[in-house]
Every structure is written in structure tokens, then in C-alpha cells.
Chains A and B, each alone.
Chain A
């Protein structure tokens, strides 16, 4: 199982026909305490790099971009009442939604974990 990352700090993990999407541990840490997550409606179709969700923290409000094109098939039901799960487990329990990917070749535009870690070093 491989996670891929975007430059905007989203991650995506594809298993069969399902791509699970979230924000990276680094992003969750940068945002600070997350207070609200605006999730997309199921059935919504997005293109890669389009706005997929919104995250509000005590510090800021930011957009989450789609790492892949596809259709939203599920959103994380626990986040409405407990958005802090993303702070506790950004790359596990704190996943945002699941997509049915439209074109898996889009993964080639993303970074694997090692590359993403390199990328983060370049940012600090």
C-alpha cells in the first residue's frame, strides 16, 4: 500500500477501485487545532487540483484540493462531531473522504512518501 502526496499536503491511497484522501500529518500540525471540516457531498465529481473540502482551524481556514480526479463515494462520518481526529491521526482515522478515481495515471504527478519528506525539508 503506497501513499502519494501533493505539494498542497494532501495524501491519497488507492486500494482497488477506492482512493482514500486526507491531509498530511505535517499539514495538520501546521493548521493547529482543527475546529470544523466542510466535506463534499457524496456523488460530487472533482478534477485533480480542484477544491474538494474546507478545513477551519483556530488559526486559519484553508482549502483541501483533490489529489486525483474522481467521484466522491464516501465521507468520514466522525469528523462532523469530532474534527480533532484529523489532528490526532491525519493519515489514519482522520481521512476525509473516499473517491472513485477517474484516471489512475494522474498518480504519476504526485510524490511518494520519501519524495514528500524531501519536499518538506526544502520548505523548512
Chain B
């Protein structure tokens, strides 16, 4: 859309209709001290100066720095199709698809997204997306409280610390008891998680791979939870599902996750989307929008928002969530990404992540004083112990154009020397060598 400012002529016309002379007169009823003194905007610039400025800002976002950072958001390839189709105006400017008679395109796209998420997670039903991975996990916890009519949540501490923070925030307004179980090094403490489940437990919340990169099989934990009448909520990393056992295969009741890795850029940390999927029996407690397939009066296939009694525009006091929206465009990109890769491509992509990370793991663990902390297999992320403070090592490597990873110290007090390194398919052998060189220098000096 071209931006057309009002001409002086138009402003004069509008003011005369209102019956005042100047803009100043228009705002006269508002006391001077309550008005904005300045919007602090620089003067206007030309289109070309603007493009230059935007390019500079893009550079400032860390481009040119090689990222080995993950921790929930990942640097993955995005096929050109995703940008091209995802930026079509029909999708990019579409409004809430409440009226199926004029929103069939958007509705069908979201329906396909739901189908893709179900296939990926091994679950039976999915909604049309939530805000992000953290809120999806929190919504999963609330869902479990509603379904089981119980009030305790068991939360594994190897779940992303930021996501745990969001869960704590969401539960603060509920009479729910949160039991956090410390990890055993880099692995979830399955024994302690199991024994923490009681007849009061609504759900156990775990993440796979966890924040340290370790992969686990939660099948036995799911069984134990079910024996106690509790649910298992697994937060998953979509790309890993090309290789790793899915939440559905483990017997999870609810799968959640951050969808950014599916065709959405890092773009300073967002926006992206949260995915949430569940077993069919829980569909009436799934928050957010759900698109369903139906037939019209003449028997033709059509798509509609369905089961809306869950939503707050129908019965606010009983709504499953205060979320009545979804991250439509980001989810659409996710759907295009899944479609562009296909099942085989997806497996290949996952394998590539795994192989490159395994190579990096070997190379980095050879450095004197650097050890690998994970005892379990990892997917594309792993934790190293350095002989010195990981935060300062990261700072030193930044000067060499490398973002070496996520230092654990600020999230896990006492683990100041630990560094979580992420290697996606976008990292080259040369870049991994550069990281090893830099790390060697930083820890030896």
C-alpha cells in the first residue's frame, strides 16, 4: 500500500467540516501539559536514503556473525517458495477467517497446517497455532488442569528456562502447585520425574530435545503418568522430528513447540508461532482456533472455524483460554515449509543437522580442557564444559565474528562454565573449524 499523507488542502477541508480553523484549535480541549511534547521523529528522508538506513539496521542485527546459538530459536534454511507464497496479499493482508463464505483460501491453508502439525508430532488434532513455544507450553499446562480437574504440575528443569518462566507466570493466577524437578547434569531425571507424579498431578511437562540438547524417550514416563491419571505434555523442536521419536509415538497427550524453525526467519527473535496438538479426546479443551472440514448444502467440500464454544466470544467465563487468535501468517509459512520439503526432505534436513552437529561435537571435544557434558544422544545442540567462564569466552569470540553459543550461567546458577552450542544445516565445515580455532585460543590464553 502506498502511504499518502494528507495534503494541506485536505486538512483544511476536514477542519472546516469540524468547524475549527487550525490543528491547534482541534486539540484545544486537551490541556497542553497532557499533550505529547514531541514524537521525537527525525525529519523525512527520500526512498533511497530510507533503503540505505534499513540496510544498515539489518546489518546491525548480527548478520555477518556466524551463529552457533539455538536455545529455542534456530538458524535454518528457508526455501524461496516460503517468502514468495507467504507474502501474497491474499494471505498477508487477510483478516480473521470467521466468515467461511469469503475466507476459504485462508481456512484451507490453516487446515493443511493443522494436518502437517499432526503428522509431524504424531498427534490426532492440532489448533491453528498459538503465539510462541513458551505460551504453547503454558497453555498445555492449563489444558491439563482443566481436563483432569487436578491442581499440580510437574515441570522438568531441563525445559527451556524462558518457557518455564512463562509457565510460572500463567500458573500464578491459578491455584496450581508447580513442582520443578532438577535435571541430572544434561538429562531429565526420569526417576525423580516419575516419583513426583501423584494422584494430584494434572500433567508432567518435559522437552525433547531438552535445553542442553539431550534427547530422551519419554514413553515410560507417559505410561507412569497415565497410571496416575495424569497427562504428559511434550515440548518438541519440529525439525528434530525428522529423526527423533515424536510425542505421539511416546504416548504424549499434548505436544507443544516453537514453530520458528519451520520457515520463519530469526528476525531479532520473532514473531513466529507456537504449535499445540493433542489426542482427539482432548479437542474440546484445546485453546485457540481450530479449522474443520465440512460440506455445504450441495455436498461441496468447505472449511470453517469449528468447535467455537471453546472460545471466549461464545462463553467468556468458560472459555478454554483468553487466546482467540493465532499467528496465521507465521503458521502459513510453516505449512509452506513443510510442504516444500515433503517427508523425505524433512528427514534429510534432520539428518543433516544431526551429522553436522556430531562432527562439531567431535572436533570441539578434542580441544584441551573442553569436555562434552551430554550423556544421552543429542540432535543438533550439545553442552560443553569450558575451563573458564563461558560468557566471557562468547564475548571474545564475538570479536572474531562468531556467536559461539548460549552460556548457561544466567539460567542455571553454578553452571557458569557451560556452553550450549547449536549446529544447524546452515553451518559449514569451515565455520565449524573457525569456531574450534577460536574456542581453542579463548580457553588456552
Contacts and interface: CB of A to CB of B under 8 A. Distances in A.
Interface residues of A, number: 6
A61 interface: yes
A38 B314 CA distance: 16
Interface residues of B, number: 5
A54 B284 contact: no
B284 A61 contact: no
A109 interface: no
A36 interface: yes
A104 interface: no
B429 interface: no
B309 interface: yes
B315 interface: yes
A60 B311 CA distance: 11
A36 B318 contact: no
A81 to B, nearest CB: 13
A112 interface: no
B233 to A, nearest CB: 23
B318 A54 contact: yes
Contacts of B309: 36, 56, 61
Interface in B285-332: 309, 314-315, 318
B389 to A, nearest CB: 55
B284 A60 contact: no
A54 B315 CA distance: 11
Interface in B314-354: 314-315, 318
Contacts of A54: 318
Interface of B: 284, 309, 314-315, 318
10 contacts: A36-B284, A36-B309, A38-B284, A54-B318, A56-B309, A60-B314, A61-B309, A61-B314, A61-B315, A61-B318
Interface of A: 36, 38, 54, 56, 60-61
Given A36-B309, A56-B309, 8 more contacts: A36-B284, A38-B284, A54-B318, A60-B314, A61-B309, A61-B314, A61-B315, A61-B318
